[in-house]
Amino acid sequence: MAYVDSAKSIPLSRATSLFRGKTTFLLGSLFLSCFIILAIGGEAFAPNPPNQIDLLHRLSAPSLTYPLGTDHLGRCILSRLMTGTALSLGTALTTAGLILAIALPVGLLSALCKGWVDAVLMRIADIFLAFPMLVFALAIIGYLGASLTSAVIGVALAWWPGLARLVRTLTLEAASKEYVLASRQCGQKPLNIIAKHILPQILPPLLVVLSLEMAGLLLVLSSLSFLGLGAQPPAAEWGAMLNEARPFFAERPSVVLAPGIVIILAVLSFNLVGEGIRFQLDKRKPYRW
Amino acid sequence: MVDIPLLQVQNLTIANSTQNNESLVEGVSFSLSAGQRLGLIGKSGCGKSLTCHAITGALRAPLTTSSGSIRFQGQDLLAMPFAEKQRIRGTGIFCIFQSPGSALHPSLTIATQLLETAGNVSLFGQDAQQTISQALEAVSLPQHCLKQYPNALSGGMKQRVMMAMALILKPTVLIADEPTTGLDVITEHETLEALNVVQQETGSALLFVSHDLRIVRQTCTSVLVMDAGQLVDACDLNQPIAPDCHHATAEITRAMERLQL
Amino acid sequence: MTIEARHLSIAYGSNQVLSEVSLTLHPSRTTGLVGRSGCGKSTLAKAMTGIIPAPQETLFHNHQIFFPDLSKTGDIIHYMWQDPLAALSPFLSALDLICEPLKAIHKLPKAERQRKARDLLHMVGLEDACAAKRPHQLSGGQCQRIALARALAVKPKFLVLDEPLSALDLVTQEQITALLRKVRAEMNMGLLIISHDLQTLAKLADDIAVMEGGRIVEHKETQEFFATPEHPLSRRFVEISKYSAPAA
């Protein structure tokens, strides 16, 4: 307990809390909503058709017709980036959804059933965790054949155990709360207890973690596309664009930089939103009587 | 000698700066002179603890003292530079908080923590050891507690460790903020006795905060009543409570009488 | 009809929390359980209600072996936590909290459920304004009333109250004591009230049991207990409860 010099520390702490809480969240949401708008109407906003080849203007500098220049086939980079938003973010979201769909039931089951169910499920998760994540994803993609669908499945299968462990831990803590026991005492059925008392407790922290993982997923999916294992040409996907542009980096750096920066921005916006949500939810009571 | 109050709180107002400066404590004024034992009672949420926190300077961020002054031996605590306040803490004003569990460092033994306290009043080596064992005796704690960590002690014992600290520091003003909440009646009784011992040995002024008039009357002679952030009444416990008292006072006394055997 | 613990022992590692405790609860009778903190009062109460598992063949309901399973026996013997705020879900409103057992145990249709819940709210002395509020928006005393209304909605044969007053201020303590007296008079319910405050128990209990170190060391009718406490601990409790009474 320190003597807080209230006259000085208040404006400062207010400024930092504003910056940490609202500003990051607003900034992140602003970026993210831009991306969402692009994902919905990307093709309509795009100045040129994304796959229109203009061999006369290969690797051209930014101009009025091609605001970010063109790639090695003379396709408008900006248009491709805009059109690619839906695919890039869509795959990341699908993967996140798939991960949640595996991790949530597994985590809940093992935390609530305990005993051998818990042991079996968690050992399976451990086996999955024992492999390096990317190597495991690569193995699955290798088995399924290189395509965007197999990239999504591969990443989801490699990614769920970590989240399932988190769900299990959160559920264990949530289920031992006195009010959950009290509700069981009042005769509430297990499914109702999960829906009414456990999910509301574990979903907020889970969504925060997931929004932070989204950034990671986006990167991994882009890297897979970059390696040629995800989206296949001529699909406009950010990672795939990066991959295709690789040989022309020396000739015209913007070909590589543009999709790179967009990926960074998307990752950043997910991180900012995640951080913002975490800060908003992590509201400790400022004082207690 | 002119009777200068040791601690003088004037027109203290505590507000929440994030919620359009809504006042939680409003215009509280009282003074405490040397050797006085003053009780502060009120229902939960009336602002008793906040007042204590303001005096010790432990208000957390969105809460601020928006007006008023707290004078300790004539100096305004609110206008004082940090280093000066640091000096007053402990030996000047010492506060025993509501939850003893969080007031002691969990990973240091009681001996280490008490030695550190003794160091604050320039007691080292043999002298410190001796003072500590005397202090433990005074609050009737066994000596083997010294080797233990706080988690091995019960709530009442931790509270008595805090009181032993008070005995070592010999503060001029001792604030006890609901020191017996969560303790069983026997422990409560022992804790209050320890508090009496501390007060007698150090001669400090005592501000005793509680919701329970039954406890306050065991330690204090006069009592202030708080209700909804304001001081509403002052009573002398040696005399029967006046019939024209504030309704909050009446409510508390009535509750006490009904709970009595 | 009784609930009975026979030679109930519980240990955590080398720490013997309860040793050979026997206690019988009778219908429409109030038993007070006194003891210093850490003496095993709460553990006994939790074991008898199934919050923590009791060893086999130590609990009996009407002389039949009783397996308290929270979700099935909450309407036979029901436990009420010490901290009302922690035992009420922060996601539900006061009314929904009271409706929960009415739906799950008594299978009442929605309209009737809501009407009954409102009746219970009034019975424990809360206004309609509290119905839509969630626990953290209410004071400790109001939360304790809601927890009580919820327990009454379950309508168990036996209700165990763990320190129902210790988290409350004096004025609220007095109000809840009065409420418990009313409940005791109106409902045909066996009560076990845990407390360390004999003054409250004197007002509520028919008989008082004293615990020390995981054992029941004395168990007597209230009147008799106050007149002739035998065990040193009982004498100390009675002495202190008189000490805090006013000199006049």
State the pLDDT confidence band at A223, using cuts at 50, 70 and 90.
Answer: confident
Q: What percent of chain A clears pLDDT 90, i.e. is strictly above it?
A: 19
> In percent, how much of chain C has pLDDT > 70?
98
What fold does the segment set C3-88+159-243 form as a domain? Rossmann fold (3.40.50)
Look at B61 and A1 and tell me if their CB atoms are within 8 Å: no
Q: Is B58 on the interface with A (CB under 8 A)?
A: yes
A chain contacts of residue C113, beta-carbon cutoff 8 Å: none
pLDDT of res. C243: 64
Chain B residues 9-28 with a CB less than 8 Å from chain A: 17-18
Residue C59, judged by CB atoms within 10 A of its CB (0-12, 13-18, 19+), counts as: buried
Q: What is the dihedral of CA B210, B216, B222, B226, to 10 degrees?
A: 20
**Boundaries of every domain in chain C:** 3-88+159-243
> The pTM is what?
0.76
B66 sits in the region (left: phi over 0; alpha: psi -120 to 50; else beta) called alpha
For position A160, what pLDDT does the model report?
92
* Residue percentage of chain A with pLDDT more than 70: 89
> A286 falls in which pLDDT band (50, 70, 90)?
very low
Domains by residue range for chain B, with CATH: 7-259 (3.40.50.300)
Token reading at C239: 């002495």
Position B57 confidence tier, pLDDT thresholds 50, 70, 90: confident
* Contact residues for B155 (Cβ-Cβ < 8 A; gap 6+): B100, B101, B182, B183, B187, C37
Rg of chain B's alpha carbons, rounded to an integer? 18
Q: What mean pLDDT comes out for the span A99-112?
A: 93
- Dump pLDDT digits (tens) for A56-88: 877 888 887 788 888 888 888 888 888 888 888
Q: CB A185 to CB C154 under 8 A? A: yes
Interface contact B182-C198, CB threshold 8 A? no
pLDDT at B49 over 80: yes
Contacts of B48 in chain A (CB under 8 A): 289
User: Cβ(C108)–Cβ(C98) under 8 Å?
Assistant: no
Residues of C whose CB is below 8 A from B254:
174
pLDDT of residue C247: 40
End-to-end CA distance of chain C: 44
Q: What is the pLDDT of residues B178-222, one digit of tens each?
A: 888 777 888 788 888 888 888 888 888 899 998 888 888 888 888
Taking the domain A17-55+64-281, which CATH number applies? 1.10.3720.10
> Is the CA virtual torsion A253, A255, A256, A258 positive or negative?
positive
Comparing CB atoms, the residue among A3, A13, A286 nearest residue B85 is A3
- C185 at B interface, C-beta within 8 A: no
**Strands across the sheet with B22-32, in order?**
B22-32, B7-16, B63-72, B75-76
Residue A2 banded pLDDT, cuts 50, 70, 90: very low
Report the pLDDT value the prediction gives residue A285, as an integer from 0 to 100.
38
pLDDT in tens, B99-152: 777 788 888 899 999 998 888 888 888 888 888 988 888 888 888 888 888 887
> Does pLDDT of C127 surpass 90?
no
Q: Kind and range of the H or E element at C162?
A: strand C158-162
- Is residue B59 within 8 angstroms of chain A, CB to CB? yes
Q: Do the chains contact at C244 and B214, CB–CB below 8 Å?
A: yes
pLDDT in tens, C58-84: 889 888 888 888 888 888 999 999 888
C212: helix, strand or coil: strand
B259 to chain C, any CB pair closer than 8 A? The answer is yes
Per the DSSP assignment, residues forming a β-bridge with C80 are C161
The ipTM assigned to this model is 0.88
Residue B1: the pLDDT is 43
Mean per-residue pLDDT over chain A, rounded: 82
The chain C residue lying nearest A201, using CA atoms, is C91
Task: Name the band, by pLDDT with cuts 50, 70 and 90, for residue C231.
Answer: very high
Q: What is the pLDDT of residue A19?
A: 54
Judge: A4–B57 Cβ closer than 8 Å, yes or no.
yes
The DSSP string of A27-61 is HHHHHHHHHHHHHHHHHHH-SS-TT---GGGTTPP
Judge contact between A280 and A21, C-beta under 8 A. yes
Dist CA B230 CA B12 (whole Å):
10
Helix (H, G, I), strand (E, B) or coil at A232: coil
Spatial CA neighbour of B164 closest among B186, B142, B138, B192: B138
pLDDT band of A107, cuts 50, 70, 90: very high
**Res. C17 pLDDT band, cuts 50 70 90:** confident
Q: Which of the four pLDDT bands, split at 50, 70 and 90, describes residue A161?
A: very high
By the 10 Å C-beta count (0-12 exposed, 13-18 middle, 19+ buried), B232 is classed as middle
What is the model's pLDDT at position A119? Answer: 93
The DSSP annotation for chain B comes to -----SEEEEEEEEEETTTTTEEEEEEEEEEE-TT-EEEEE--TTSSHHHHHHHHHT---TTEEEEEEEEEETTEESTTS-HHHHHHHBTTTEEEE-S-GGGTS-TTS-HHHHHHHHHHHTT--HHHHHHHHHHHHHHTT--GGGGGS-GGGS-HHHHHHHHHHHHHHH--SEEEEESTTTT--HHHHHHHHHHHHHHHHHH--EEEEEES-HHHHHHH-SEEEEEETTEEEEEEETTSPPPTT--HHHHHHHHHHHHH--
pLDDT number for residue A282: 56
Which has more pLDDT, B88 or A33? A33
Structural domain spans, chain A: 17-55+64-281
pLDDT higher than threshold 90 for residue A95? yes
CB nearest A182 (choices: C87, C91, C153): C87
